[in-house]
Amino acid sequence: MTRPVRADINLQALRYNLSVARDKAAGSQVMAVVKADAYGHGLVPVAQALDEADAFAVVSLEEAVQLRDAGIRQDILLLEGVFSGQELSDSIDYDLQLVVHCEEQLRWLEALPGDRRRVVWVKVDTGMHRLGFEPQLAREVWQRIKRLSAAGRGGELRWMSHFCCADDPAHPATDEQLARFIDLTGADGAPRSMANSAALLTRADANFDWVRPGIMLYGASPMLPGTTGADVELRAVMSLRSRLIAVHRRRKGDMLGYGQSWKCPQDMPVGVVAIGYGDGYPRHAPSGTPVLVNGTQVPLAGRVSMDMICVDLRNAPQARVGDDVVLWGSGLSAEAVAEHAGTISYELFCGVTPRVPRIYTITD
Ligand SMILES: Cc1ncc(COP(=O)(O)O)c(C=O)c1O
């Protein structure tokens, strides 16, 4: 490791956050959402640390195979199902559960020869209007898959849906979606799943048999901007860290970086940190975005470059080359940085690039 950039991943915090999900959804099984390389935290180490999860959810066969190859034995669900008929039989070889959300997937299932059983989650569009069958169609879909089971080719059937606005507790869509889901699925006693992190934390009535937390496991708040993970008892898992690689005394009126977008208002110290959009630090983070230098909050100054940023060190005049910098994580919430950058913590985490080594620790 030459450049001082790294993402420390605290596996103890991850496990703690899973225990929060378990406590909040007592009585439900927990399917940990580890797609997108576990939201940038590292798929296999995260799944191995979450050995107490009841199942995992991913979005591609490749992710699922990585988990199986690493010895993960829990159930694994392909959240978007398969993308071709060919993938179906591979998914069964790897003992994966499938979402079926559209007619094409249903036909692939019907065309698959053999009698290997599988768990199929019928996805219902209760209001997100992204994936899933409309509630009026969903019963017919259910019956078609049930007929396959009767012919020895189907598997266990389950219901699922996804919330569009659970991050806003005042939003009426959540009640509407819930009512549609209960209306459709209430009678048959089949396992059901609907809750993402936001619903899990705020809507006990949406937990059903399986909850599907993602972002809360990584310690960030799933709620609207303004709350952090710590506000909802979660612990940050990823700390994106680097160091100061230069400290300069600039003169009043000096302009910093590309586009000369920031002007020094006085003679002042300016630090250069080894982090940039090549590492996944958001290029659109504006001047003023908080950065921690030796535990002191200082503002980003000027444009984010590929490998560097400048910081205004007037609050930290003793700062020296080699000093620790936290971009988000320990002492500085990803949510606060995301809010400045006009994005969400999910995108910050997923955006950390492969050149940033993930360093796993099991400390508190
Ligand atoms: C279908 C589905 N379920 C659950 C989740 C987890 O959501 P969150 O990370 O907000 O908990 C996602 C994430 O996008 C999802 O697509």
Burial class for 206, CB neighbours closer than 10 Å (0-12, 13-18, 19+)? buried
Specify the CATH number for the domain of residue 206.
Answer: 3.20.20.10
Question: What confidence score (pLDDT) does residue 37 get?
Answer: 98
CA distance 181 to 145: 19
* Beta carbons within 10 angstroms of residue 311's beta carbon: 28
Q: Is the pLDDT of residue 117 over 70?
A: no
Do 175 and 284 lie in one domain? The reply is no
Question: What confidence score (pLDDT) does residue 363 get?
Answer: 73
User: Residue 238's closest CA among 167, 314, 337, 304?
Assistant: 337
Do 181 and 45 lie in one domain? The reply is yes
Do 207 and 353 lie in one domain? The reply is no
Question: What confidence score (pLDDT) does residue 138 get?
Answer: 97
Q: Is residue 355 part of a domain?
A: yes
* Ligand 1 centre distance from Cα of residue 177 (Å): 16
Q: What percent of the chain has pLDDT over 90?
A: 91
Is residue 212 within 6 Å of ligand 1 at its C-beta?
A: yes
* Ligand 1 centre distance from Cα of residue 193 (Å): 11
CA distance 216 to 230: 10
- Check: CB of residue 215 under 8 Å from CB of residue 208: no
Q: Is residue 35 part of a domain?
A: yes
Q: Is residue 131 part of a domain?
A: yes
Do 212 and 252 lie in one domain? The reply is no
Is residue 132 within 6 Å of ligand 1 at its C-beta?
A: no
Do 321 and 248 lie in one domain? The reply is yes
Specify the CATH number for the domain of residue 355.
Answer: 2.40.37.10
Q: Is residue 2 part of a domain?
A: no
- Check: CB of residue 229 under 8 Å from CB of residue 220: yes
Is residue 79 within 6 Å of ligand 1 at its C-beta?
A: yes
Question: What confidence score (pLDDT) does residue 112 get?
Answer: 83
Residue 135 makes CB contacts below 8 A (sequence gap 6+) with: 124, 125, 126, 180, 183, 184
Do 257 and 215 lie in one domain? The reply is no
Phi, psi of 6 (to 5 degrees): -155, 155
Q: Is residue 68 part of a domain?
A: yes
For the segment 274-324, what is each residue's pLDDT rounded down to a tens digit? Answer: 999 999 999 999 999 999 999 999 999 999 999 999 999 999 999 999 999
Do 201 and 308 lie in one domain? The reply is no
Q: Is residue 4 part of a domain?
A: no
Question: Catalytic: 277?
Answer: no
Do 120 and 254 lie in one domain? The reply is no
User: Residue 77's closest CA among 156, 180, 187, 150?
Assistant: 156
228, 259, 285 — which closes off a domain?
228
Residue 200 makes CB contacts below 8 A (sequence gap 6+) with: 21, 24, 25, 206, 207, 211, 213, 216
Q: Is residue 147 part of a domain?
A: yes
* Ligand 1 centre distance from Cα of residue 160 (Å): 12
Do 303 and 190 lie in one domain? The reply is no
Q: Which atom of ligand 1 is nearest to the CA of 160?
A: 1
Do 179 and 319 lie in one domain? The reply is no
Q: Is residue 233 part of a domain?
A: no
For the segment 191-210, what is each residue's pLDDT rounded down to a tens digit? Answer: 999 999 999 999 999 999 99
- Check: CB of residue 149 under 8 Å from CB of residue 155: yes
Tell me which of 46, 79, 348 to substitute to probe ligand 1's pocket, judged by most ligand atoms within 8 Å of the beta carbon.
79
Tell me which of 212, 335, 344, 346 to substitute to probe ligand 1's pocket, judged by most ligand atoms within 8 Å of the beta carbon.
212
Average pLDDT over residues 333-349: 98
pTM of the predicted model as reported, rounded to 2 decimal places = 0.97
Is residue 162 within 6 Å of ligand 1 at its C-beta?
A: yes
For the segment 205-257, what is each residue's pLDDT rounded down to a tens digit? Answer: 999 999 999 999 999 999 999 999 999 999 999 999 999 999 999 999 999 99
Question: What confidence score (pLDDT) does residue 1 get?
Answer: 62
Is residue 34 within 6 Å of ligand 1 at its C-beta?
A: no
228, 246, 269 — which closes off a domain?
228
Question: Catalytic: 258?
Answer: yes
- Domain with 316, as residue range(s), is 238-361
Q: Is the pLDDT of residue 2 over 90?
A: no
- Per the structure, how many domains does the chain have? 2
Q: Is the pLDDT of residue 150 over 80?
A: no
Question: What confidence score (pLDDT) does residue 187 get?
Answer: 79
Question: What confidence score (pLDDT) does residue 19 get?
Answer: 98
228, 263, 292 — which closes off a domain?
228
Question: What confidence score (pLDDT) does residue 261 get?
Answer: 95
Q: Which atom of ligand 1 is nearest to the CA of 59?
A: 16
Q: Is the pLDDT of residue 36 over 70?
A: yes
* Ligand 1 centre distance from Cα of residue 173 (Å): 17
Question: What confidence score (pLDDT) does residue 155 get?
Answer: 76
- Check: CB of residue 55 under 8 Å from CB of residue 72: no
CA distance 42 to 328: 17
Do 298 and 356 lie in one domain? The reply is yes
Enumerate the β-bridge partners of residue 255: 263
Enumerate the β-bridge partners of residue 360: 9
Q: What percent of the chain has pLDDT over 70?
A: 97
Q: Is the pLDDT of residue 115 over 70?
A: no
Question: What confidence score (pLDDT) does residue 135 get?
Answer: 96
Q: Which atom of ligand 1 is nearest to the CA of 33?
A: 6
* Ligand 1 centre distance from Cα of residue 178 (Å): 16
Average pLDDT over residues 332-343: 98
For the segment 5-29, what is each residue's pLDDT rounded down to a tens digit? Answer: 999 999 999 999 999 999 999 999 9
Q: Which atom of ligand 1 is nearest to the CA of 346?
A: 9
* Ligand 1 centre distance from Cα of residue 55 (Å): 14
Question: What confidence score (pLDDT) does residue 13 get?
Answer: 98
Average pLDDT over residues 161-168: 98
Q: Which atom of ligand 1 is nearest to the CA of 167?
A: 10
* Ligand 1 centre distance from Cα of residue 195 (Å): 8
Residue nearest to atom 6 of ligand 1 (CA): 214
The CA-based dihedral angle spanning residues 59, 84, 190, 197, taken in that order and rounded to the nearest 10 degrees: 20
Do 279 and 168 lie in one domain? The reply is no
Q: Which of 24, 35, 123, 281 is catalytic?
A: 35
